[in-house]
Structure 1
Amino acid sequence: MSPYARIDRPSPFAPSSAQALPVWAVTRTDIENGHLDEAALAWAAAAGFQAAEGVLLLVPDRQGKLSGALFGLGEEGECHPLLGGKLARTLPEGDWRIAASSIPGDVMALAFGMGAYRFESYRKPSPDGPRLVIPEGADAAAIERTVTAVGLARDLVNTPANDMGPDTLEAVFRGLADHYQARVTVIAGDDLVSQGFPMIHAVGRAAQEAPRLLDMRWGKEGAPRITLVGKGVCFDTGGLDIKPASSMLNMKKDMGGAANVLALAMMIMDAGLPVDLRVLVPAVENSISASAFRPGDVLVSRKGLSVQIDNTDAEGRLVLADALAFACEQDPGLLIDMATLTGAARVALGPDLPPFYTDDDQLAGELTTASAQVVDPLWRMPLFKPYEADVKARIADLTNAPAGGFAGSITAALFLKRFVAPGTSWAHFDIFAWTPKDKPHALTGGEAQGIRALFDVISTRHPA
């Protein structure tokens, strides 16, 4: 694995045998009704503690030594469900346990683990933080697995492009495959043209590091097939339709789709789910040079559909199109693609609620249920058929950038749908892969979105 993306980071959890201090996570009602340790309740009254959401009060014993902590949940049933992540940044160093909470213990532990994440590859590491004992009865292995996967996705997105180009993304891909004894093949450079991936090649050919298609396979043949496709644009200048500086500043995250499908693949392999898993990542940089593809070019895709390039900054759908067509040449089973694809998705739903698109109503229902259950926000958007006319081009089968600016996330999904074989159970996730402001369980930076809900659906369908 690359030093910039790890699955062996120190655990934020303490062993069950640890001598851990108690945390009482309480609401205002708990304080008012005295539902609390007597000494802690007296200290709360003396300190004026009102259990405001996210507020921590350390509790001393009679000798003045630390004996526990009170953590406010605010009004009954109204706090952020992952508020426990804040404990990882506010508790002092040492081992702690949840002594009381109206939030389920496994949710508190998961939030704590995600909240403990730090990206410190480029600066002096922070001092050791607190550790939490995973509550008895919680699935410790599942919590640790999820925290590790979220950390992997965040690491990949947070790493700047000078250290996370296609070469390094391939190294991470291979490292993950080696760890779980998966098989990898890579098609790179001009071999993309000779082997039928012209749009992946066109998008990435102007960069110093060669474009490539990464292909991982794990599991047993004959098991239910799961195919994951992730957009791996390691940096996006916009190409010859160059982005303004303000829009280019955060384009290291344009491989967030690849980061998230790798994290999801890690969860599937680590859990040993009985599936035949395939992961496809077109890894490129959308750069500018004399060989860059141009506005007005027409590219003939792997599927044979011709695509008129009306904006070189709509490159993600091009690399995904070749990868999706390739996936569909072998029955992909459940086909999932994830991509930081459109700003229109953020205009519609903001940064924290990724849209997904599918014609599979059963899958949509399962995802919606899982999203609520595991607190991993998702929202189904329509593949609105009348908008298919907007994806048509003047001199080619399709345009990569419909005119008018309306329904940009929907038309991007409709574009991708043209490369998916009819009848395939397919879902497209237009994610942001970034947290623009601190949350209880996530500091500003790269983020995993949708993968916990997806894993819940897949593991429910195919339990280990």
Structure 2
Amino acid sequence: MYDHIIANDPSANPITISPIAESGFESWLAQQPDATKSWIAANSFEGKRGTQLLLPGKDGAVGSVLVGYVDDAKAIWDFAGLPNALPAGTYALSDDLTEKDDLYEKAALGLYLGGYRFDRYRKDDGKKDKRAKIALHDIEAAKRAENIARGIGLARDLINVPANDMGPAELEEAARGLGAEFGANVSAIVGMDLLAQNYPAIHTVGHGSDRDPRLIDLTWGDESAPKITLVGKGVCFDTGGYDLKPSSNMLLMKKDMGGSAQVLGLARMIMAADLPVRLRVLIPAVENMVSGRAYRPSDILQTRKGITVEVGNTDAEGRIVLSDALTEAASEDPDMLLDFATLTGAARVALGLGLPALFSNDDDLANGLMETGMTENDPLWRLPLWDDYRSQLDSKAADMNNISGSPFGGAIIAALFLDRFAEGAKSWAHIDLMAWNPSDRPGRPTGGEAQGIRAAFKLIKDRYGK
């Protein structure tokens, strides 16, 4: 995942990466030797954020590396281009950067994420050993960056694995592996046991697949500590069911378990930081397939909460499986309940691919997530739980429908559906996200992506940390 990052070895004599603040570039340049000035001029380097320049040493080899940055929330990405731009060798951030704790953390995180690769299915092309190696100082800022990077890397890896290797059982295995790493308890209710233990909605959606549906349940931490509960949509593949998706829309549906990947990545950050909280993670893991056992449009489903749901569309399955998990989560009245889900295309139409939609019944929680998201450059944008739209979920045959008859406000309608099942949770937020990068940018390669979990981690750490 991050084989380009190595421990700092003083004997390695690494090449120095020298960050230059964009605003201070001219004054810095004025103090440089004439040879350096000439080299910089010849390469048209102006110290702009995210740009790099190799400076030659006395022997003609690389002597040092300049990188332009701006010390703001986006500084992470100013450093993220380096791992793929640097020639083979060992590099390290300049020693003076260790005195700037926050900036060092951003730089280190950018260096981690900039070298992320998902190569599970690719033959070794011999290039791995020729990659630049980056040595980080043994300081707390570097350790914090590593924690965040590994949580993000876990989320990305899980999303990037195709559905043939990431079904409900494999997702459970990933949760169990994470639990074993940090001493968490992990259990799962599988197949027909979902009915016996009153999780009928999860069972109904997942029963159409030959791969048994399940509810994965991870718990960690002191039972007397503040309760933080995370719920993640784990639809490992979504055909749309009998309301079948067109092939173009189905192509990326391995990422429909992206919500579960987010909560496992966030859980990893929380446990690795040893935050004094009682953590619970609930993942309804299913496939939404077409078969003789699959549920149908107009079926009426039972839920854990006792609310009956008429199926207006089998492709709105995420909210159905989340209903049982949210009911269970809310029953414990946690101090904070967050759910993450790749839930609606409507949210993407409204906000684009890089800005998850945020809904909440708690203004303080919503404001905290939005503010922290901006300071961490991990943005979320709040949309309303607009009460006037609730009647659009009415059904003549059941307590409610899973969709509206209107094509408008789809993300809000989905959130209002979930709100019925999160009822009782005093502080709940729902994050509707893409979980995917459609194109390459420094530190953000095409493929699975973590969205909102850096913001959530910082908020939880600030509120409940030691």
**1:51-130 map, 5 Å:** 51-73=47-69, 81-99=76-94, 104-125=103-124, 126-128=127-129, 129-130=131-132
Q: 2:14 corresponds to which residue? A: 20
Asked if the contact 2:105–2:144 (Cα under 8 Å) also holds between the matched residues in 1, the reply is: no
CA distance in 2, matches of 1:107, 1:53: 14
- Distance 1:77-1:261 versus aligned 2 partners, 3 A rule: closer
Return the letter of the residue paired with 1:84. Answer: F
Q: 1:447 corresponds to which residue? A: 449
**1:201-350 map, 5 Å:** 201-350=203-352
- Using the size of structure 1 for normalisation, the TM-score is 0.93
Return the letter of the residue paired with 1:410. Answer: I
Report the alpha carbon displacement of residue 47 of structure 1 after superposing the two structures with TM.
Answer: 2.8
- Distance 1:144-1:27 versus aligned 2 partners, 3 A rule: closer
- Distance 1:251-1:67 versus aligned 2 partners, 3 A rule: same
Range that drifts further, 104-113 or 167-176: 104-113
Q: 2:44 corresponds to which residue? A: 48
Instruction: Give the count of matched residue pairs.
Output: 456
Return the letter of the residue paired with 2:329. Answer: A
Bigger proportion of residues as helix: 2
The 3-state SS of whatever aligns with 1:213 is strand
Report the alpha carbon displacement of residue 134 of structure 1 after superposing the two structures with TM.
Answer: 3.4
CA distance in 1, matches of 2:122, 2:63: 33
Return the letter of the residue paired with 1:154. Answer: R
Range that drifts further, 228-237 or 184-193: 184-193
- Using the size of structure 2 for normalisation, the TM-score is 0.92
CA distance in 2, matches of 1:381, 1:226: 23
Asked if the contact 2:300–2:308 (Cα under 8 Å) also holds between the matched residues in 1, the reply is: yes
CA distance in 2, matches of 1:19, 1:317: 54
Asked if the contact 1:29–1:76 (Cα under 8 Å) also holds between the matched residues in 2, the reply is: no
CA distance in 2, matches of 1:246, 1:140: 41
Report the alpha carbon displacement of residue 185 of structure 1 after superposing the two structures with TM.
Answer: 1.7
CA distance in 1, matches of 2:314, 2:73: 45
Asked if the contact 1:227–1:278 (Cα under 8 Å) also holds between the matched residues in 2, the reply is: yes
Range that drifts further, 318-327 or 370-379: 370-379
CA distance in 1, matches of 2:71, 2:271: 38
Asked if the contact 2:74–2:377 (Cα under 8 Å) also holds between the matched residues in 1, the reply is: no
- Distance 1:183-1:110 versus aligned 2 partners, 3 A rule: same
CA distance in 1, matches of 2:459, 2:75: 23
Asked if the contact 2:155–2:265 (Cα under 8 Å) also holds between the matched residues in 1, the reply is: yes
The 3-state SS of whatever aligns with 1:419 is helix
- Distance 1:354-1:206 versus aligned 2 partners, 3 A rule: same
Q: 2:419 corresponds to which residue? A: 417
Report the alpha carbon displacement of residue 56 of structure 1 after superposing the two structures with TM.
Answer: 2.8
The answer for unaligned runs of 5 or more in structure 1 is 1-5
Asked if the contact 1:106–1:134 (Cα under 8 Å) also holds between the matched residues in 2, the reply is: no
User: Percent same amino acid among aligned pairs?
Assistant: 46
CA distance in 2, matches of 1:217, 1:98: 38
Q: 2:188 corresponds to which residue? A: 186
The 3-state SS of whatever aligns with 1:82 is helix
Asked if the contact 1:94–1:130 (Cα under 8 Å) also holds between the matched residues in 2, the reply is: yes
